[in-house]
Amino acid sequence: MSAFDALKQNSLSFSLLPISIRELFFLTETPCDIFGMVDGLYKLILREHSFINSQVLRDLISRNHSTVFVQQDRRNDIITLQQNNLRTVTRSLSIGDAVEKGRKQLGLLTLNMSYLYDDPTDDETLSLQYQSVKNLCSFLYERPEIHEKLYHDYIKQKHHFIFAQPLLSSLFLVGILKMSHLYSFKEVESLFITSYFKDIGMSVIPTEKYDQRTLSDEERVLLNSHPKTSAQILQGRIQLSPAHFAIMENHHLFSLLTKDLHVPDTSKLDHKEAKMISGFETMVISITDVIAAMITPRPYRDATSLFDSLELAKVLMSDDYPGEFKLMVNYFKSVFFK
């Protein structure tokens, strides 16, 4: 390597910012130069305004460019484009192919959730996410027949579980609540929003920490307090009642009984412990959260079967809520076991 090349590489190491290639999904051209790492060196792999589509992205991923690099002062160009994409899709959800629109909406919402985790105090990003989630609730409520297809398409996208988890659990929630015929749409909407935003307090820990099997004592304390942190972050910024913030604050009560917050240990849970959770609304949000966590893989474990996750739900709720438990089983049988 010449002295000039070495100087250029050194300059790039200070000016480039790593991002997931997912941030290029749903774009038709690059808003800035995109760099990759090749043999330990930064290489320009896509020039500004280069055409991109799914095949271009697949080719990059096949060449080990799942992480790419952009100039730090151009990162906001990508964020702005993707947030405008989210606004456009949100406004036109009811137009066109429902599955394709839903798939795109779920992907863009997940991207914007990652931006919100980067800065949960950003009111503009939160407002966009809140309005888009409200529209998504209405879209899903009116189209239960596409839930299974959306679920499988979304799983294939392999988003980081921290950003995917609240969306999957809320997808299950809206289907269960609609099938119950016990709640008005506005009540379902409020519970859907509560479910979706309940984990925003996890943003206090760097995302990469969640890929580890264990956390430090300080990190675990922060993680265990994330329900209350979520409510503190959102109070006065999104439209939810005190009762819904209370649900948010209590949605992880039973998980404090286990060492692994992600997947409760069924051998250490019994009916008496399950009574710690009060109210079916809190229970169903907690249970759909657990099911979504168990049936999706983590970097340190494989996914659990839906049958096993429902067995845990049975331990937690069947004695106090037998009818509701049967409803939940019927929902998964009719939607995912067809």
pLDDT score for 212: 80
Residue 103 covered by a domain:
no
Q: Is residue 230 part of a domain?
A: yes
Instruction: Check residue 108 and give its pLDDT.
Output: 97
Same domain? For 26 and 173 the reply is no
Which CATH number fits the domain that encloses residue 220?
A: 1.10.3210.10
Whether the model clears a pTM of 0.85, i.e. scores above it, the answer is yes
Q: Are residues 205 and 301 in the same domain?
A: yes
319 and 190 share a domain?
yes
Q: 26, 42, 73 — which closes off a domain?
A: 73
DSSP state of 290: H
Shared domain check, 304 and 185 = yes
Residue 130 forms part of a structural domain: no
Domain coverage including residue 253: 160-336
Q: Which of 23, 41, 73 is the last residue of a domain?
A: 73
CA-based radius of gyration for the chain: 21
Structure tokens at 177: 């609540």
**Per-residue model confidence (pLDDT) at position 236:** 94
Q: Do 69 and 181 belong to one domain?
A: no
Q: Low-confidence residues of the chain, pLDDT below 70? A: 253-278, 337-338
Co-location of 172 and 308 in the same domain: yes
Q: How confident is the model at residue 208, as a pLDDT?
A: 82
Query: Does 58 share its domain with 164?
Result: no
Would residue 195 count as lying in a domain?
yes
Is 3 domain-assigned?
no
Whether 207 is in a domain gets the answer: yes
Give, in order, the Cα–Cα distances in Å from 302 to each of 142, 154, 170, 263, 336.
33, 18, 22, 11, 19
Residue 317, pLDDT score: 84
pLDDT at 9: 79
State the total domains in the chain.
2
Residue 177 resides in a domain = yes
- Residues 6 or more apart whose Cβ sits within 8 Å of residue 247: 191, 194, 198, 279, 281, 282, 285
Q: What is the 3-state secondary structure (H, E, C) of 9-45?
A: HHHHHHHEEEEEHHHHCCCCECCCCEEEEECCEEEEE
User: CA-based angle 273:227:160, to the nearest 5?
Assistant: 105
In this structure, the answer to whether residues 69 and 165 fall within a common structural domain is no
Q: Within a domain: residue 46?
A: yes
The tens digit of pLDDT for each residue in 234-253 reads 999 999 999 999 999 988 76
pLDDT at 273: 42
Q: Please give the pLDDT value at position 263.
A: 55
